[in-house]
Chains A and B, each alone.
Chain A
Amino acid sequence: MTIQATARLERATRVRAEDFLCAFDAGGAFPDARPGQFVHVRTPADLTLRRPFSVAAVTGRGRFELLVRKRGEGTAALLSLPEGAEVSVLGPSGNGFGLPEPGERAVLVAGGIGVAGLRHLSRTLARDGRRQVVLVGAPTATALLDGVLPGPTTDGAVRVEVATDDGSRGLRGTVCDLVGRALEETDAPARVYCCGPQAMLRSAAGIALAAGARCEALVEEVMACGIGACRGCVVRTRTGYRAACADGPVFDAAELVFDGEERA
């Protein structure tokens, strides 16, 4: 259930350059978000719209984290708030990811700030003792958002692979170059979870689907209402337009029609 609540900023921790993990406490009445859901935040800037952020973690009843990148007026105003400041939040909203079924391998694919959308999922899988392969891509090593997704574990439950465009860490290439290899390792069925720029989603989804894996993609769109009322944030799917806020933001990648593709 989506509700409107006041959330207190507990702390903002710098992850890298202008990326911060912001911890909020919205009180015990605020429902816990599922992985892939988002929160619509009213920033303290004098803007017309709220700003949607993937829930990066749930840390207690009504307590959650958002990864905020300083991009424009809204995020700058949000990041200028002192600890203890209050903001209006609307959420948790959207459908969220489906968790892997027993025997299904979880392959997480994050491009750039897409790590934000997968952090809650990764933590949930780890909590439940599920194995996961985490694939992370960025232009350079310095652009990688270390610490947002969990690191590898010695027991192999979490395996992490990195790709950078310039080869400054991990494979020289894109995160999509890692997807095919990860899927070819075994014949076990896999479920691929993607979050990142649209070109990355398109490519990663294409590889995953071609390999016969199920694939879920978390899309990012400009939103107005955040609750499915205005129909402003629609994405194209094989069965018509669907609202990213209410029908998504997670979609079965096989249903999505990306830019440049024709509708079936």
Chain B
Amino acid sequence: MRTPIMLASGTVGYGGELSGLCDFSSVGAIVTKTVTEAPRDGNRPPRLAETPGGLLNAIGLENVGIERFLDEKLPAAAALGAPVVVSVAGDSPAAFARLARRVGERPETAAVEINISCPNVERARRPVWDDPDATAAVVAAARAATGKPLLVKLSPNTADALSVAEAAQRAGADALVVANTLPGMRIDIETGRPALGNATGGLSGRALMPVNLALVWRIAAGVSIPLAGSGGVATAEDALEYLMAGASAVQVGTALFLDPDAATTIAEGLRRRMAHDGVRSVAEYKGMAGRMST
């Protein structure tokens, strides 16, 4: 990647929405909004609630579906000039495989991100993200369906993230995104009702960063594939923390709502920091925190 800064799924639409507002030469990759086989309406509004240091969202994977995505959205995203990672979600390993095959066949697709961790979609059983075996089944199915690089986006909402990460690696993931949002809630005390139409949502933003940073640090010690740190990255310093914890890249999401060109600011900050530290590659920062603690 040109820079280790990716734009996180769900915050950039299908990419084209940021056209003219972002210098894509600063972007390592765009991760599209998660695509499902059928179009989805998403959850009932309100879908957003601000919290101290963070944001709750309950979008519910609203998307145009794979057919319209391939026809309209993917070519538009690819035209922006940054590599396009397509995020996909299905309700079974077979569905993940079908989606990975469809998007993987397209030359515009640089990589596929497997979203097993959206907290805003109802599940009757134990969620995939909390179950190493279920995660392995999904990843193995997608792996068999495409030769494109496969990223798996994990959830912070699990008791044993390392086991899930190891399962994803064994099943053929090329990299892991650590991690999605945490479940959260606000209540409107005037009405006594949840602030979100879906009652609960996913917490993102700065409040999430220490949680996901700890996950990166822990998972980096147990897997050998690259990690992209995600959660609260707004500055070059935030990105450095993730790199020092063991990540090879970061994903920027909620910070784009304050600055759609945040990738440029972060990339410039990283370059200044590297010059100051006499470092020639961001890889030299990788895992510094782990090395020092052992």
Contacts and interface: CB of A to CB of B under 8 A. Distances in A.
Contacts of A154: none
Interface in A1-54: 1-4, 42, 47-50
Interface string B236-259: 000000000000000000101111
B260 A224 contact: no
Contacts of A228: 13, 17
B257 A48 contact: yes
Contact of A230 (B49, B257, B258): B257
A2 B260 CA distance: 12
A86 B42 CA distance: 37
A225 B17 contact: yes
Interface in B29-55: 33, 41-42, 44-51, 53-55
B53 A48 contact: yes
A90 B259 CA distance: 9
Contacts of B17: 225, 227-229, 246
Contacts of A225: 11, 13, 17, 256-257, 260
B167 to A, nearest CB: 30
Contact of A49 (B55, B59, B62): B55
Interface string B80-100: 000000000000000000000
A231 B50 CA distance: 15
A241 B257 contact: no
B276 to A, nearest CB: 26
Contacts of B59: 230-232
Contacts of B62: 231, 234, 241
A88 interface: yes
A235 interface: yes
Contact of A48 (B12, B33, B54): B54
B41 A241 contact: yes
Contacts of B11: 225, 229-230
Contacts of A231: 13, 33, 42, 47, 59, 62
Contact of B205 (A42, A48, A227): A48
B124 interface: no
Contact of A224 (B20, B21, B33, B57): B57
B20 A3 contact: yes
B21 A3 contact: yes
A236 interface: yes
Contacts, number: 98
A246 B17 CA distance: 10
Interface in A224-252: 224-236, 240-241, 246
A48 B258 contact: yes
A31 to B, nearest CB: 11
B48 A232 contact: yes
B218 interface: no
A231 B40 CA distance: 12
Nearest to B18: A229
Nearest to A88: B259
A4 B48 contact: no
Contacts of A211: none
B48 A224 contact: yes
A222 interface: yes
Interface of A: 1-4, 42, 47-50, 88, 90, 221-236, 240-241, 246
Given A222-B48, A224-B254, A246-B17, 8 more contacts: A1-B20, A4-B21, A88-B259, A224-B257, A226-B257, A227-B260, A231-B13, A241-B62
13 contacts: A1-B20, A4-B259, A48-B53, A48-B258, A221-B45, A227-B17, A229-B11, A229-B13, A230-B10, A232-B47, A236-B45, A240-B41, A241-B45
